């Protein structure tokens, strides 16, 4: 899109030779590196990166793609750089947002004051498929619902970051944040060491220690001694299985499947070679609906019968808590500015993307009228599925979406197409600007919020594309947050 | 009216089954229309039986069996005094907001046919509307124990035009919610005085009506719940209020045998403690 802010060059155009004067201060080292590296060297590095990812097996499955059950997410070797000042603002905004998301969960499953105050329409919450009615009246250990949240941010100009989406259920992608850094250290040691000398790329590898500390901090009242934490995965066929095994390995905890676990006398146990071992905290990467066949989907083999009893008896903490989907629901999203004001008493630091709620007739009329310029999303869709990007849609696609909107307006929201910022990216024709987003990971434990300085940068590799989802051809980049001494 | 309930569920497994965990919603709560004098659950195998209250306020238990078992018998028996309150349900804990009971579940989704049925019963008077709905379901869906199964949804049962009490209750619930009326599923027992010994497992629906609160409608019999009804558990649908939901490891094929008997007996005069029940039925 014309006029998009480029994080290296601002509004200057890309040329064959980078003009050092046009490069924003935070990108000086990267620009010098790019200027000194031959195209052949960059191409070699890119191939090496791909080999590295293949060797460690970091692949993901694409649902509904019969040709490729396992695919490599392309890695772009040009890092994205965020200054200390920019990060300070993001950190403050992310902390505020996650505090509000957690307070919203606690309130919705507790006193429901925000519904009485009219901050969010009552029926949108109480009738929302994401609301877990079994959790009404429940208070998790430490009052924490959203232990791990991934907030998808986009940048539209040097000063403006907007939240595109909250992910408060089982957000994934953090293993890419960690692996991308390792790959950068191996492939471009000269660049990384220069940056480290000059002021410091802040480390991200502390994430797994922080995650484990967060999980232990919310051990239930029934836990005795050092809390035992395990990671529950749906198994090998899940698209994020690599990440599950990676995180369990780094944290030094057991990676378990439903069949490895059982509940007896309201306590969760895992089978080990040394006999059953009590589990106090379960970091689950399995959706709510599959967690306990005695309460949720009876056909689920991924969960554990009696799990909810263990939780409600105060013997087990499940992270994230069951029912947090109500907070990141796309229909709730548009109410987030009001939710933040209500629970934090302050104006939102990070803006929401303006959103039309198609359930409201005036909004629907406007969306139908302006559809070619808008992005239309299904409230119960994810990963870029069930989504229409107006400017790139054919007349036929637009027509089909108009019919769907008229039939079920409450299932859709619409947003303007944003001029997402671009970052220099290595493509077949050389170095070119490509649109990016950012997913930082926010941890909330009994003692508050911690955010590792970094996140997953996703890049739309196709020229002009805004769709960064890995299931739709997006790639990733290493994301550098500079220390206060850095540029 | 004084009712004796005897509910026996027998599971037999082809091979011993391990890790049996069951959620039991088998225990009625006293409220203004019923007073539970005595109630017990006996389980035939060793294990842990723990009481809890679920989100709806139902008295529930979880049972964890020790070791592997090839036969499991759950025997529930008790004694309840019922009063006819013309279907009005009061004196129940109600921890959930009424709007929760407007939610749609897979078993209670209203398809076009159920929506049409609901629309045909619209009435400015909510009480009249509820009765019209109940009677419409009663007339349109014939009782037939052989066509549906426990996981049949309301729309399928309505299309078949036949089903059991569970199906009729879920059709009524789907239609009532379509009209904006909070509605929920009730599992319980039915023991009319004119049939002294009969299969008594039953299900009906409760609708929240302005000014009256929850009112119990039994579309199978086309009446409001009365003295013959013992209310045990409520939920959004039959799966949510299910008397027993269980899981196990191994065990192979399972055979299930359920017998529920309800018996109306002569009430003792007020103030006299319940005695050994007589076999006589009374009006």
Domains (range + CATH), chain A: 1-203+327-353+418-487 (no CATH), 221-315 (3.40.50.11290), 354-416 (3.30.1490.270)
Per the confidence metrics, is the pTM higher than 0.90? yes
Mutate to test the interface with A, among B48, B64, B236 (most CBs of A within 10 A): B64
Domain assignment of residue B136, yes or no: yes
DSSP annotation of B166: H
- Looking at the structure, do residues B231 and B247 belong to the same domain, yes or no? no
- Match 């809390």 to its residue by tokens: A227
pLDDT tens column, B168-200:
999 999 999 999 999 999 999 998 887 766 677
Coil, helix or strand at residue A242 = helix
- Looking at the structure, do residues B117 and B196 belong to the same domain, yes or no? yes
Candidate from A10-14, A93-97, A341-345, B148-152 with smallest mean pLDDT? A10-14
Domain assignment of residue B225, yes or no: yes
A123 reaches B (C-beta below 8 A): yes
State what percent of residues in chain A have pLDDT above 70: 93
- Looking at the structure, do residues B130 and B259 belong to the same domain, yes or no? no
> Is A294 within 8 Å of B239 when comparing Cβ atoms?
no
pLDDT computed for residue B276 by the predictor:
39
> Is B99 within 8 Å of A265 when comparing Cβ atoms?
no
Question: If we measure between CA atoms, which residue out of A282, A325, A323, A324 comes closest to residue A304?
Answer: A282
pLDDT tens column, B230-260:
999 999 999 999 999 999 998 889 888 888 8
Rounded to a whole number of angstroms, the distance between the first and last alpha carbons of chain A is 28
Q: Which residues of B touch A262 (CB under 8 A)?
A: 19, 21
Q: Which residues of B touch A265 (CB under 8 A)?
A: 48, 50, 64
What's the whole-number mean pLDDT along residues A417-442? Answer: 93
From B228's Cα to the closest Cα of chain A, the distance in A is: 30
Chain Cα centroid distance, residue A75: 17
A370 reaches B (C-beta below 8 A): no
pLDDT computed for residue A416 by the predictor:
93
Residues forming a β-bridge with B142 = B162
> In chain A, whose CA is at the least distance from the CA of B182?
A127
State what percent of residues in chain B have pLDDT above 70: 93
Residue B221 class from Cβ within 10 Å (0-12 exposed, 13-18 middle, 19+ buried)? Answer: buried
Q: Contact A424/A78 with Cβ under 8 angstroms? A: yes
- Looking at the structure, do residues B114 and B225 belong to the same domain, yes or no? yes
- Looking at the structure, do residues B52 and B180 belong to the same domain, yes or no? no
A to B CB pairs, distance under 8 Å: 67
pLDDT tens column, B105-117:
999 999 999 999 9
Cα dihedral: A221, A222, A228, A232 (round 10):
-90
Residues 6+ apart with CB under 8 A from A273: none
What's the whole-number mean pLDDT along residues A250-270? Answer: 97
Domain assignment of residue B256, yes or no: yes
Residues B258-283: b if buried by 16+ CB within 10 A, e if exposed: eebbbbbbeeeeeeeeeeeeeeebee
pLDDT tens column, A146-156:
999 999 999 99
pLDDT tens column, A338-376:
999 999 999 999 999 999 999 999 999 999 999 999 999
State the residue range of the domain holding B230: 88-235
Residue B111 class from Cβ within 10 Å (0-12 exposed, 13-18 middle, 19+ buried)? Answer: middle
A408 reaches B (C-beta below 8 A): no
What's the whole-number mean pLDDT along residues A439-448? Answer: 97
Residues 6+ apart with CB under 8 A from A296: A288, A289, A290, A303
- Looking at the structure, do residues B210 and B146 belong to the same domain, yes or no? yes
- Match 């929302």 to its residue by tokens: A128
pLDDT computed for residue A93 by the predictor:
98
Looking at the 3D structure of chain B, how many domains does it have? 2
Domain assignment of residue B96, yes or no: yes
d(CA A6, CA B20): 60
Alpha helix segments (H runs only) across A130-240: 174-187, 189-198, 207-217
What is the average pLDDT value for chain A, to the nearest integer?
91
> Is B246 within 8 Å of A264 when comparing Cβ atoms?
no
> Is A294 within 8 Å of B22 when comparing Cβ atoms?
yes
pLDDT surpassing 90 at residue B37? yes
Q: For strand B244-249 and strand A59-60, is the pairing parallel, antiparallel, or unpaired? A: unpaired
What CATH number is associated with residue B24? Answer: 2.60.40.2250
Rounded to a whole number of angstroms, the distance between the first and last alpha carbons of chain B is 8
pLDDT computed for residue A17 by the predictor:
78
Q: Contact A120/A100 with Cβ under 8 angstroms? A: no
pLDDT tens column, A218-246:
999 878 889 999 999 999 988 889 999 99
A306 reaches B (C-beta below 8 A): yes
pLDDT computed for residue A58 by the predictor:
63
ipTM value of the model? 0.91
Helix (H) or strand (E) holding A94: helix A84-108
Please give the radius of gyration of chain A, using alpha carbons only, rounded to the nearest integer: 23
- Match 């392309």 to its residue by tokens: A74
pLDDT computed for residue A224 by the predictor:
84
d(CA A370, CA B87): 52
Alpha helix segments (H runs only) across B89-141: 112-120, 126-140
> In chain B, whose CA is at the least distance from the CA of A304?
B247
pLDDT surpassing 70 at residue A1? no
From B136's Cα to the closest Cα of chain A, the distance in A is: 26
- Looking at the structure, do residues B104 and B75 belong to the same domain, yes or no? no
- Looking at the structure, do residues B78 and B92 belong to the same domain, yes or no? no
> Is B102 within 8 Å of A126 when comparing Cβ atoms?
yes
At residue B157's C-alpha, the angle toward residues B154 and B162, to 5°, is 140
Highest mean pLDDT among A300-304, A437-441, A471-475: A437-441
Residues forming a β-bridge with B8 = B75, B259
DSSP annotation of A267: E
Q: Which of B50, B99, B239 sits opposite A122 (nearest CB)?
A: B99
Assess whether the previous peptide bond of B177 is cis (omega < 30° from 0).
no
Which whole-number Å values give the CA distances from A211 to A103, A292, A316, A449, in the listed order? 20, 24, 17, 11
d(CA B170, CA B157): 9
pLDDT computed for residue A362 by the predictor:
95
Coil, helix or strand at residue B223 = strand
Domain assignment of residue B271, yes or no: no
pLDDT computed for residue B279 by the predictor:
34
pLDDT computed for residue B258 by the predictor:
84
pLDDT computed for residue A53 by the predictor:
81
pLDDT computed for residue A37 by the predictor:
86
- Looking at the structure, do residues B162 and B101 belong to the same domain, yes or no? yes
- Looking at the structure, do residues B222 and B105 belong to the same domain, yes or no? yes
pLDDT tens column, A285-343:
999 999 999 999 998 889 999 999 999 999 999 999 999 999 999 889 999 999 999 99
What's the whole-number mean pLDDT along residues B126-136? Answer: 98
Mutate to test the interface with B, among A112, A129, A131, A133 (most CBs of B within 10 A): A133
Domain assignment of residue B102, yes or no: yes
Q: Which two tokens stand for residue A182?
A: 């390792």
Q: If pLDDT is split at 50, 70 and 90, which confidence band does B264 have?
A: confident
What's the whole-number mean pLDDT along residues B88-109? Answer: 96
- Looking at the structure, do residues B66 and B174 belong to the same domain, yes or no? no
Q: Which of A263, A294, A312 sits opposite B245 (nearest CB)?
A: A294
pLDDT computed for residue A72 by the predictor:
74
- Match 């036929």 to its residue by tokens: A396
Q: Contact B16/B70 with Cβ under 8 angstroms? A: yes
> Is B95 within 8 Å of A137 when comparing Cβ atoms?
yes
Q: Which residues of B touch A293 (CB under 8 A)?
A: 247
Mutate to test the interface with B, among A120, A122, A124, A126 (most CBs of B within 10 A): A126
pLDDT surpassing 60 at residue B277? no
d(CA A255, CA A252): 9
A264 reaches B (C-beta below 8 A): yes
pLDDT tens column, A41-67:
888 988 888 888 877 766 555 444 444
pLDDT surpassing 50 at residue B35? yes
Domain assignment of residue B280, yes or no: no
What's the whole-number mean pLDDT along residues A80-87? Answer: 95
Domain assignment of residue B276, yes or no: no
> Is B62 within 8 Å of A112 when comparing Cβ atoms?
no
DSSP annotation of A301: S
DSSP per residue, A445-485:
ETTEEEE-S--EEEEE-STT-----GGGTEEEEEEEEBPTT
> In chain A, whose CA is at the least distance from the CA of B60?
A309
pLDDT tens column, B66-87:
999 999 999 999 999 999 999 9
d(CA B55, CA B51): 13
- Looking at the structure, do residues B28 and B144 belong to the same domain, yes or no? no
A133 reaches B (C-beta below 8 A): yes
- Match 């013309």 to its residue by tokens: B86
> Is B64 within 8 Å of A306 when comparing Cβ atoms?
yes
What CATH number is associated with residue B186? Answer: 3.10.620.30
């Amino acid at each position: 899109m014309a006029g998009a802010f480029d994080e290296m060059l601002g509004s200057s155009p890309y040329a064959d030779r980078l003009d050092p004067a046009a490069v924003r201060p935070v990108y000086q080292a990267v620009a010098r590196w790019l200027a000194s590296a031959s195209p052949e060297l960059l191409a070699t590095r890119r191939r090496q990166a791909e080999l590295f990812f293949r060797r460690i097996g970091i692949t993901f499955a694409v649902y509904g793609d019969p040709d490729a059950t396992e695919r490599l997410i392309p890695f772009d070797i040009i890092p994205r750089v965020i200054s200390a000042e920019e990060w300070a603002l993001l950190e403050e905004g992310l902390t505020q947002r996650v505090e509000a998301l957690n307070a919203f969960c606690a309130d919705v499953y507790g006193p429901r004051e925000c519904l009485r105050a009219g901050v969010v329409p009552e029926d949108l919450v109480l009738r929302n498929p994401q609301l877990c009615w079994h959790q009404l009246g429940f208070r998790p250990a430490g009052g924490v619902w959203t232990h791990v949240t991934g907030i998808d941010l986009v940048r539209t100009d040097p000063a403006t970051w907007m939240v595109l989406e909250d992910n408060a259920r089982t957000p994934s992608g953090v293993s890419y944040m960690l692996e991308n850094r390792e790959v950068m250290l191996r492939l471009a040691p000269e660049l990384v060491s220069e940056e480290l000398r000059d002021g410091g790329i802040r480390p991200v590898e502390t994430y797994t220690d922080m995650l484990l500390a967060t999980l232990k901090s919310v051990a239930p009242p029934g836990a005795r001694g050092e809390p035992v934490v395990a990671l529950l995965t749906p198994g090998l066929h899940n698209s994020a299985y690599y990440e599950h095994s990676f995180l369990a390995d780094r944290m030094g905890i057991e990676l378990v499947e439903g069949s490895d676990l059982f509940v007896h006398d309201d306590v969760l146990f895992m089978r080990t070679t040394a006999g059953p071992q009590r589990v106090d905290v379960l970091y689950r990467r399995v959706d709510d609906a599959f967690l306990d066949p005695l309460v949720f989907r009876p056909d689920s083999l991924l969960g554990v019968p009696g799990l909810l009893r263990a939780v409600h008896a105060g013997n087990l903490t499940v992270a994230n808590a069951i029912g947090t989907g109500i907070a990141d629901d796309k229909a709730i999203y548009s109410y987030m500015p009001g939710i933040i004001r209500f629970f934090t008493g302050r104006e939102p630091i990070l803006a929401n993307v303006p959103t039309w709620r198609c359930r409201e007739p005036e909004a629907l009329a406007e969306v139908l009228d302006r559809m070619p310029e808008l992005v239309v999303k299904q409230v119960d869709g994810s990963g870029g599925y069930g989504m229409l990007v107006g400017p790139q849609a054919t007349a036929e696609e637009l027509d089909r979406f108009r019919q769907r909107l008229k039939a079920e307006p409450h299932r859709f929201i619409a947003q303007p197409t944003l001029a997402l910022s671009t970052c220099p990216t290595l493509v077949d024709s050389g170095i070119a600007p490509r649109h990016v987003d950012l997913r930082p990971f926010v941890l909330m434990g009994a003692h508050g919020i911690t955010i590792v300085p970094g996140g997953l940068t996703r890049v739309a590799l196709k020229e002009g594309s805004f769709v960064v989802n890995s299931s739709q051809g997006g790639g990733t980049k290493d994301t550098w947050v500079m220390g206060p001494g850095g540029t | 009216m004084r009712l004796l309930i005897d509910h026996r569920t027998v599971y037999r497994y082809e091979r011993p089954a391990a890790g049996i965990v069951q959620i039991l919603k088998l225990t009625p709560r006293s409220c203004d229309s019923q007073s539970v004098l005595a109630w017990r659950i006996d389980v035939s195998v060793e294990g842990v039986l723990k009481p809890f209250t679920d989100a709806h306020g139902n008295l529930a238990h979880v049972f964890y069996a020790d070791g592997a078992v090839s036969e499991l018998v759950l025997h529930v028996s008790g004694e309840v005094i019922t009063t006819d309150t013309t279907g009005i349900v009061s004196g129940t804990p109600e921890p959930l907001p009424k709007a929760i009971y407007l939610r749609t579940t897979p078993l209670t989704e209203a398809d076009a046919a159920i929506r049409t049925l609901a629309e045909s019963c619209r009435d400015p008077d909510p009480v009249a509307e509820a009765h019209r709905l109940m009677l419409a379901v009663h007339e349109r869906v014939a009782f037939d124990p052989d066509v549906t199964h426990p996981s049949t949804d309301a729309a399928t049962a309505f299309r078949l035009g036949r089903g059991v009490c569970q199906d009729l209750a879920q059709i009524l619930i789907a239609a009532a919610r379509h009209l904006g009326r909070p509605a929920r599923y009730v599992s319980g027992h039915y023991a009319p005085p004119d049939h002294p010994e009969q299969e008594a497992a039953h299900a009906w629906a409760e609708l929240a009506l302005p000014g009256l609160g929850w009112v119990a409608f039994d579309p199978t019999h086309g009446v409001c719940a009365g003295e013959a009804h013992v209310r045990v558990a409520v939920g959004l649908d039959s799966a949510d209020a299910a008397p027993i939901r269980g899981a196990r490891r191994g065990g192979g094929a399972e055979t299930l045998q359920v017998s529920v008997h309800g018996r109306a007996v002569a009430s003792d005069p007020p103030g006299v403690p319940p005695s050994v029940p007589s076999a006589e039925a009374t009006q």
